[in-house]
Amino acid sequence: MRSIAATPRASSRRSVRNRTMAVRVTRAAQGALWALIIALAGVSGARAESVPFICEIMADGESASVMLTNSLGQDASCLASCQFSTAKYDVRPQITCAKTVPAGKEVQMCILPSHGEKLLTLMNGSGDCVR
């Protein structure tokens, strides 16, 4: 259920600024997630390897799904990130998620709700795993 602000259009600039700031935080968080994954892996010299991934806008255009396949020969810590465009200028929702994926398996990493903005196209994305 969505909450409605008392003055729905009074803070539209602030709202866009907050969404942009959230994307910047997400990008910074992505680096921190990789640092944590590598530290938890306990392997010196661990490197991220690109793996197949799918960023898909759901039929309603209100959410997106991120799928990733661990093509490595063993279970691995994986990170997927996708960024989408919307009809609003400078509003580009990004989804970043991490989890352990069994060897050779395709899993749904996460789902991103758009919070009222229709997702139009995939702008960029990545999928990586660390052994």
Domains of the chain: 12-130 (2.60.40)
Q: What is the mean pLDDT of residues 98-117?
A: 91
Q: What is the mean pLDDT of residues 69-94?
A: 92
Quickly state the pLDDT bin for 41 (edges 50, 70, 90): low
pLDDT in tens, 87-103: 988 888 888 999 999 99
Q: What is the mean pLDDT of residues 52-76?
A: 93
pLDDT above 50: residue 56: yes
Greatest C-alpha distance within the chain:
54
Beta bridge partners of 107: 68
Q: What is the mean pLDDT of residues 11-24?
A: 43
% of the chain with per-residue pLDDT over 70? 65
Instruction: Give the Cα separation of 14 and 68 in Å (integer).
Output: 34
Task: Answer yes or no: are the C-beta atoms of 95 and 119 closer than 8 Å.
Answer: no
* Order of strands across the sheet that contains 76-86: 48-50, 119-130, 76-86, 94-101
Instruction: Give the Cα separation of 72 and 81 in Å (integer).
Output: 19
Tell me how far CA of residue 23 lies from CA of 48, 59, 96, 121, in angstroms: 22, 23, 10, 16
Which candidate, 81, 88, 87, 77, places its Cα nearest to that of 64?
81
Quickly state the pLDDT bin for 127 (edges 50, 70, 90): very high
Beta bridge partners of 121: none
